[in-house]
Structure 1
């Protein structure tokens, strides 16, 4: 584990989000195992919400697939790992309302919760299984063909 990964791990334990993730994993009856780079993988998540193949709470990656499948999917695992870092940067729980505000903005702006969501874009839309549905607005008549 790198120094940065260790710092993220400690930050998410201290800010309480990894504990929150473990509590959700336990309540949801997932299989919890150690993952790479200081991550904890909670596989077999079956609750209806959130409706995603994987999501994070602190350093805990909750997923609907087996842990081995997630580890082999480097793109998705890397995407979720970036969300773990976002929790640490946002000092934990404040990430959640910020994420939901960004998802709401994206819904208004692009018609889906990911395409214009700052956090999803930073984590990599394609890696997270999202399509970029943003459509450029047409340029004003006198803008010389420049899109805005």
Structure 2
């Protein structure tokens, strides 16, 4: 009689163990499915970030092209009007285009380090130019008039 009771208890424990193992497997499968879903969303997010970075790079290139077009318009001005406007200093043309580029890049949100890297200039030089022209409305008016 005792062996029958022990066999029944053993059988019950085996069934209970199988039930618990099955329950754990279902929970693990659910966790694995959630992880796979998260992985898919992360891949999508990564793709979106790559696209955003590419679009931002294109935006910067377009802005630099626009700045170069502004430079070309300034360069096409007659020499006499240029001399009247900026004086007889020939270095002024290159300086103005650098100032305009720096200010435009700052307007689109680049940091001093990014501007310096993009224009192959020193960070300190960019910093000085930004400080020098932060309160100067003349350069802003020149940019608006050229557009």
TM-score, normalised to structure 2, is 0.24
The structure carrying a bigger strand percent of its residues is 1
TM-score, normalised to structure 1, is 0.24
The structure carrying a bigger helix percent of its residues is 2
Q: Computing the radius of gyration over CA atoms, which structure comes out larger, 1 or 2?
A: 2
